[in-house]
Structure 1
């Protein structure tokens, strides 16, 4: 996503000054807690395909966003031009529709193990992208190598444990090449969305994080509406209870994961440098694990506990490297 770094942003003026760091981290944790719910959807809706789940969820997201924006539609859309609307459409496709279809397909075909391993590398990709940006705020890439290695180690431990235990909807994760391709696609899609979204928030500080999130929802709902005939044509016969379950879960995900979760994420993206915001995505995986433990009604195993410790340590280490008063950005 082409975007220009805002030259007058606080991070650009002083790389070591990150006002609102604690609030930004808290917003990132809250977004991860809500996004973690998404990983339960394929298990709760086994009768519906990934495209059907995605269209239902994002139609609900679009309707909710439109209802919230309706009273002040003209004021919210007044600052937008053609470039902003194009960006909203592209970001909606990358971070919502395409990502969720690929994620659900990966879980069904390859199981949760490979999906967690590959998609869970999003924090590393985004952190590296943020650290490599010209004029990027915060520490250089060499300084961030330690937290990134811990994050990768945590994801590897999650995958090893899941493969060993044979968890996931798709059986043997290693044998499902199509599912692995979908997981890689989800990794690329969400990484591109995260970087592009952060740059547009940086480029347009006059548009509030909440309005940008809701406008993304409107764009996503429009895309989902275009796909609705395709999902209805391919729909198999379901009972009324299955359709009600789809509507209820889609509505809940639209409200909590999309409307509220995206608002928290935009707040975090605006307050944190991209290299630190990328690490916040780790909390999506952590909460997805927690919800999975509750769903399966079990305690985490030793490998899972080690993975959680690595992920948390990586995020805390990265946050400490970005704290005001740390070593200069060019050190290391």
Structure 2
């Protein structure tokens, strides 16, 4: 039974990563859309679908929420969805899918570093090595991206903007991951699925406000461009936000936290795969080395946070 739970948990985590990785292709499929338009389109669709799904249970679910919980939903929706996706789209435009996916894929490392002051966290000496490996991976992919920019100051400047936006997306998503986990712990009467749908509804409200300046600043689009945009918006909302989150919630129920953190690596690897397929090329040597370092860093960092590992360190002191 334990092996069966682990198998289906890993399968669910991999499925979530495969669906989340599609997000990195959105700016490539609909290049006419600005970051604001893509964000507004995706989260308007997500908000509408989430509202329809939670409508039958709305009164019962919201009865458990107070003002602080609604305020938390607001900033979590901004950090984990609106702000994160805007930075991600800009990063993909300027730095490419590979660089963006690798940097954002460092979320488990940043979250682990963020939680060093929490109870039962390992000492800095234990997580410093994997963090150094992560920094090396980011440095390699950044150097690779700047090298591919052609050496001109204009292209190099755009690449630097893209890399900076990827780092901003990483910090935004990490803040969401930490805050979301803590708030779910404070609300045991709200299921993870309902909390995700509530986040979607609030995000849809913000997307509605974002849609106004996005539409006012857009240019003239052809019918084909509108079809691509609507397809990307609905597709990413359904597959990444609704189905992907459902798979992740299932993995969260079946796997221990130490294994669950490692599943986030699958999102980055699938994003790399989709990017290579879209660009019609294979990975460079530096990209392969950076991916390997990233996987090593995440797995190493997660293992450093295992209760047994922490207990061993404490017994040594």
Q: Same fold (TM over 0.5)?
A: yes
CA contact (8 A) 1:112 1:162 kept: no
Gap change, CA 1:181 and 1:190, over 3 Å in 2? same
RMSD of aligned alpha carbons: 3.1
* 1:205-237 deviation digits (Å, cap 9, x = unpaired): 322111111111111111111222222212211
Q: Structure 2, unaligned stretches of length 5 or more?
A: none
How high is the TM-score relative to the length of structure 2? 0.83
How high is the TM-score relative to the length of structure 1? 0.80
How many aligned residue pairs are there?
A: 308
| Offset at residue 105 of structure 1 (A) | 1.8
| Offset at residue 115 of structure 1 (A) | 3.8
Q: Please give the residue correspondences for 1:238-253 in structure 2 after superposition, counting only pairs within 5 Å.
A: 238-253=221-236
| Offset at residue 294 of structure 1 (A) | 1.5
* 1:65-108 deviation digits (Å, cap 9, x = unpaired): 11111222222322222221111111011111111111212332
Matched residue, 2:84: 99
Q: 2:286 aligns with which of 295, 299, 303?
A: 303
CA contact (8 A) 1:198 1:269 kept: no
Q: Please give the residue correspondences for 1:148-227 in structure 2 after superposition, counting only pairs within 5 Å.
A: 148-166=131-149, 172-174=155-157, 178-227=161-210
Matched residue, 2:23: 38
Matched residue, 1:87: 72
Distance 1:227 1:327 in 2: 45
Gap change, CA 1:313 and 1:114, over 3 Å in 2? closer
Distance 1:21 1:203 in 2: 27
Matched residue, 1:135: 119
CA contact (8 A) 2:137 2:294 kept: yes
* 1:222-262 deviation digits (Å, cap 9, x = unpaired): 11112222222122111122111111111110011112223
CA contact (8 A) 1:52 1:231 kept: yes
Distance 2:64 2:30 in 1: 39
Gap change, CA 1:102 and 1:160, over 3 Å in 2? same
**3-state SS, counterpart of residue 143 of structure 1:** helix
Matched residue, 1:108: 93
Residue range with higher mean Cα deviation, 150-159 or 48-57: 150-159
Distance 2:176 2:46 in 1: 17
Gap change, CA 1:178 and 1:157, over 3 Å in 2? closer
Gap change, CA 1:236 and 1:48, over 3 Å in 2? same
Structure with the higher fraction of residues in helix conformation: 2
* 1:120-153 deviation digits (Å, cap 9, x = unpaired): 44332211012x132145x443223333333333
* 1:270-316 deviation digits (Å, cap 9, x = unpaired): 7655x876655443322211111111233323222222222223333
CA contact (8 A) 1:116 1:158 kept: no
| Offset at residue 45 of structure 1 (A) | 1.0
* 1:18-39 deviation digits (Å, cap 9, x = unpaired): xx88876665544332221111
Matched residue, 1:17: none
Residue range with higher mean Cα deviation, 47-56 or 284-293: 284-293
Matched residue, 2:63: 78
Distance 1:252 1:153 in 2: 35
Distance 1:155 1:180 in 2: 9
Distance 1:62 1:42 in 2: 20
Distance 1:318 1:252 in 2: 33
Matched residue, 1:12: none
Q: Structure 1, unaligned stretches of length 5 or more?
A: 1-19
**3-state SS, counterpart of residue 91 of structure 1:** helix
